Structure 1
Amino acid sequence: CEVVLREVSQRNQSRSSATNSSSAQTFTGILSENLHSLATSLPRLMRTSDDQKKLFILNVFLGYLKVLGSQVSVVLNSAAHLQRISKALMQVLELDVVDVRIVEERSYAATIETSSDSYNSYAARIQRRHFLYFTDEKIFSLLMEICRTLGYYGNIYLLTDHFLDLYQQSSSYRKQAAIVLNEIVRGAAGISVATEAQGLESQVWGKSVTKDDIKVAVVSIMEEYTSLNNWHLITVSEETERDRQDQQLLSPSSLLSISNSNVGGHTQTNSIQEISSSFGSQSSSPSTSALHQLNSNIWQLCIQLEGIACFAQALGRDFRPLLMTSLYPVLEKAGEETLLVSQAALGSMWDISKACGYHSLKELITENCDYLFNDISLNLHRLSQHPQAPRVLTVMLTHSDCSLLPLVGDIVQDVLMALDLSYQHTAALFCSVLHALLKAL
């Protein structure tokens, strides 16, 4: 099928390149109208059809894109087509956020340290996402291939701007838009596009898109992902957080319990206060709407962390200059107390290491420790605005060795000073940092 589609696509493109080819225009027009019609009915079909029919429908959708080939870019220049296709993807990719276990699962230092030994131990812990309108992993794979094909043939600037607009404008579409953006960038780079021999992948850099184009798109997307409103999301209820802190500090073996618990502390006090007002009055167990919001935040962070890893894969070693702005936020989330977020961040660290040519997490951290330490030092002096700084240091110490110790002398003094100034609110957090330091010794 792939060979036949490629031959038809090439024939269509060669005809389209000929001047005054009315037959080619008619053929392309028919395909584009069929694509628009299918995109219009796609959400309904995904809600009402069984899995086999869903796979068939998505294969037809993908087939239209492959036959259109480079004409996809022309079709997407039509606002009607782009809106219809994008809205269909937003509705079909809606996540199910009702699972209470997502919020309840907490990460612990011992878990993170075990996972740091190898990439395989991380991969074994990944929890697959659940979508509202399908459960078959093959359906998800097909949808991702559709997104990559759009990225491969489409205009990277147009697609990035359009889906970023959806990401910014609607909280209900934010997670789906991020999923699509991640795959569009991968597709533009030729990753996992037509893997058959002599497929589209071999021709990827023959397109008009360049790595510079992809880099521009990546920078704009990452700026949005790591912005204050989209990165520092609350993932645990205020009541649960306060109770856990009190139990830690009152425990006879507080240092041990702190070192084996999450490193979250009150790192997101401001965010908690903001979101708690929207949740209304809460009992010791969060309300259903609050629980759904926490789950939504967790998945959003996971998708954005996966996105940063996708961008590193798309750019390879050219991603290294972007580590100055992207690595610190990822390390923040690797110290997150919510299990799914910390695992996603750890996986992102592994993918970034491999894409940028580092052989281990230790090498990734060591080679970039200068500006990481600089950011930590600055943020420790502004702890009320940057309460996540201690967890970045904890993650760095956890995933490196004693070679890092000669560089942390001044940072330790900053940690002790910050602990003196804010003991009541951050004792557990800073004790986790000191425990990680002692283990590194």
Structure 2
Amino acid sequence: MSETTDRIVRAVEARAEDTLALLQRLLRTPSVNPWFGDRAEISGEGGVQQLYQQLLTELDPDEFDVWEPSAEGLAHRADGPGYYPDHVFTGRPNVVARFRGTDPTAGALMIQGHSDVVSVGSGWTEEPFGGARRNGRVYGRGSADMKGGMAAALGAIGALRDAGVVLRADLLVASVVDEEAGGMGTLALVDRGHIAALGTIVPEATDLNVAPLCRGILWGEVTVHGRAGHIELKRMLWQDGGAVDAIEYGRRLLNAFAERSSAWVADPLKNHAHIPIPCAIKVAQIEGGEFPTTYASSCKITFNAQYLPAQKDEHGLGGVVKRELEQLIAGFAPEDEWLRQHPPTVRWLVDADCGETADDDPVVTRTLAAAKSVGIGSALEGCMSHVDMGLTIDAGSPTICFGPGQMAVAHQPDEYISETDVLAATKVLALTIADLCG
């Protein structure tokens, strides 16, 4: 290690307990996104955003920008990623702190994370908002996704200050709202002009790997239409008024989805070197029928399909894959007269965008180098789920995800993060900030 690297690492280790205590404070401040879960447990992000502002204030930034996004104010971006006209942000502000460097021409680096968490759900044996530390783990909703990463980032900035490191470029720290419901907080961030040319690091849970891309995610709902009728009687022809079983058609559509998803396995457009599994069509929910004695008049199938940056449309969204799936749904039974006269109805629920940063960009290579310098075997591995990357990349900021924790335990009961991983990420983030900001 160089003398400076050693000094930074020692500063991280000296304040390790402070960083973990900071994480506990974040976990004990509920911030369940209002668009998910039982209304009784909804908290919104306002409380934890106030805490972020307080914690950042203690690190002595040069300025703050705190504002509540507005769907009306972002309507000019309605054709692109991250816009949802029904989202309301009262009491849910974005928070951005700027630490100015010594050289106004050196640009800026941004650390960006989201403050919202998903609903608690059931099955917990730990207190969801207790922040308990047990056997080297910190438990709580949002520990992996992604308050652990944000605690590491704040700990890294504190360690740089303790080590006497002076940055040449500006450092931005952004905590945005609404990521779990589509990313409108990040849309507001880039629309307001908070774009860092040196790069953006999103400390999502990557198991300490460096993720230079994430997949896009489509949620779709297709309703197959039938005609109700007594299920125990001989059916007349539908042309004569007989019943039509929507569940039977739904089964055929499920088979068509499975066949197309299998074909994607060998499709280069559905695969990427940094993603271990191909894009797929996954059925998540099925609803159909009214009574046990009646043929179903409708069958609703809700599905999830992923896409890669190579298939982004002209708006930066998944229009190419949407059209592919719409054609599949329209033609899964091409000879069927009932379906020609009563075609399935498709409704798109979410289109969460994707993004990719070049492997040789400095924000990628220097983060990997920082990990190597402290003995962490980080690899390049993309995010298989959606994260806030695409909007910042499209705005001109090369973006990666790097953070502690495993995304596999996010959104689950007894979500946790390893204390060792939090401190390892803190070291890497501190060294990367010092390197990229000069």
State TM-score, norm by structure 2.
Answer: 0.27
State TM-score, norm by structure 1.
Answer: 0.27
Greater relative contact order (Cα < 8 A, sep 6+): 2
Question: Quick check: which one's strand share is greater?
Answer: 2
